Amino acid sequence: MKLNLSTENLARAVSPSPKTRSGSGSAMRHEPASAPVPDQGSTMKAIVQERYGAPQRVLKLEEIDRPSVGDDDVLIRVRATSVNTPDWITVAGVPYILRLKFGLRKPPTPVRGTDIAGVVEAVGKNVTDLQPGDEVFGSSWADTLATPGTFAEFTVAPASKLIKKPVRLTFEEAAASVMSGLTALIAIRDVGKVGPGTRVLINGASGGVGTLAVQIAKALGAEVTGVCSTRNLELVRSLGADHVIDYTEEDFTRGEQRYDVILDNVMNHPSSATAQVLTPNGMLIPNSIGNTGGFFAGLPRAARAAMMGRGSTDVQFVTCVVNRENLDALATLLESGDVNVVIDKVYPLSEAGNAVAHMLGHHAIGKVVITV
């Protein structure tokens, strides 16, 4: 796949316009009276988490009430969603220490998932730029677990976290792009400030964030090195990587090449070792909690990376910010065809447990999608 992002599209992605694809600004406004919220007592099918544990055991398809719709919210008939790291962490309840914050026996809300691609069913009274029938994508992501999940027939999200779905994208592609795409975009564009000639290494280049980060970095003019396993070398090359490293044959932390930005989606090396291959002014961006096992899992390694950031090493973390400006920038890249979503496997809603288990195995290539 050759990346050839036009100057116009690149400018739009790097400096998103305040006018959003969902029709804010001077776009035609729709009267909220034309979009009444349906009976809140109606039900839906959803995947419910009963407790922490193996996904196939603790995730069950059940009939539950639809989520309520606030004044600034949109009720969406979900067509597709995808599995992200917070989903398998919450299902498995690992690292165990996180249960002290989110619940010792189970999380506070029963439905997982945050990525959304679907059709507007109804809108709250303050929402004037979306209406029933609009195809949208976005996220219900927040810093708390107390939000409606998306492994369900219907979900609710703030209108500010949704835009109209690009026609070019399928619902599956749109859903798969949200959290991973925004994380990659923010890491590369905003945190790393990658531009022409920047030497970027992406560890975990064949994963959900990695596949998108490789393409976004190339679109911004970087010289990209991707680290992955033997079976994924050709995939990462096809995404535009200038160099690929097979981690089963070579340890990049012992190589002679130096990098301006390292996005570490795996953290399978001590951060001190990874930092050794940075340029003098280089930046390390940790983006993983490491292995799933143990009381702390990879949290100590992340903590050590944070401590390094207080010294001479520039260590920065990524915060996934879901808003219309970032969604528009992501949509511009996807709509151009120069950045594409890699989907490993698609599961029906009834097999959501298998979908989460697939992600939990840490061998997914790109994204794992759930269709509804």
Q: Which of 361, 346, 353 is nearest to 47 (CA)?
A: 353
Pairing of strands 259-264, 154-158: unpaired
Q: Are residues 40 and 165 in the same domain?
A: yes
Contact indicator for 132, 121 with CB cutoff of 8 Å = yes
Count other Cβ atoms within 10 Å, centred on residue 193: 12
pLDDT score of 2: 35
Q: Are residues 161 and 197 in the same domain?
A: no
DSSP H/E element including 208: helix 208-219
Instruction: Answer yes or no: is 327 within a domain.
Output: no
pLDDT score of 297: 58
pLDDT score of 29: 34
Q: Are residues 217 and 169 in the same domain?
A: no
Compute the distance between CA of residue 211 and CA of residue 205 in angstroms, rounded to an integer.
5
Instruction: Answer yes or no: is 41 within a domain.
Output: yes
Contact indicator for 193, 222 with CB cutoff of 8 Å = no
Q: Are residues 171 and 198 in the same domain?
A: no
The parent domain of residue 295 ranges over: 193-315
Instruction: Answer yes or no: is 252 within a domain.
Output: yes
Counting the structural domains of the chain, the total is 2
Full DSSP string of 88-156: HHHHHT-SGGGHHHH-SSS-SSS----EEEEEEEEE-TT--S--TT-EEEEE---SSS-S--SSBSEEE
Judged by DSSP in three states, 55 sits in helix
| CATH code, domain carrying 261 | 3.40.50.720
Contact indicator for 207, 366 with CB cutoff of 8 Å = yes
Q: Are residues 32 and 165 in the same domain?
A: yes
CA 363 to chain centre: 17
Per-residue confidence in pLDDT tens, the chain, 372 aa? 333 333 334 334 444 333 334 433 333 333 333 444 444 559 999 999 999 999 999 999 999 999 999 999 999 999 999 999 999 999 998 878 878 877 888 998 999 999 999 999 999 999 999 999 999 999 999 866 668 899 999 999 999 999 999 999 999 999 999 999 999 999 999 999 999 999 999 999 999 999 999 999 999 999 999 999 999 999 999 999 999 999 999 999 999 999 999 999 998 999 999 999 999 999 999 998 765 555 555 666 677 777 777 778 999 999 999 999 999 999 999 999 889 999 999 999 999 999 999 998 888 999 999 999
Instruction: Answer yes or no: is 187 within a domain.
Output: no
Q: Are residues 171 and 39 in the same domain?
A: yes
Instruction: Answer yes or no: is 240 within a domain.
Output: yes
Position of tokens 């989903």? 87
Instruction: Answer yes or no: is 166 within a domain.
Output: yes
pLDDT score of 300: 67
Whole-model pTM: value is 0.86
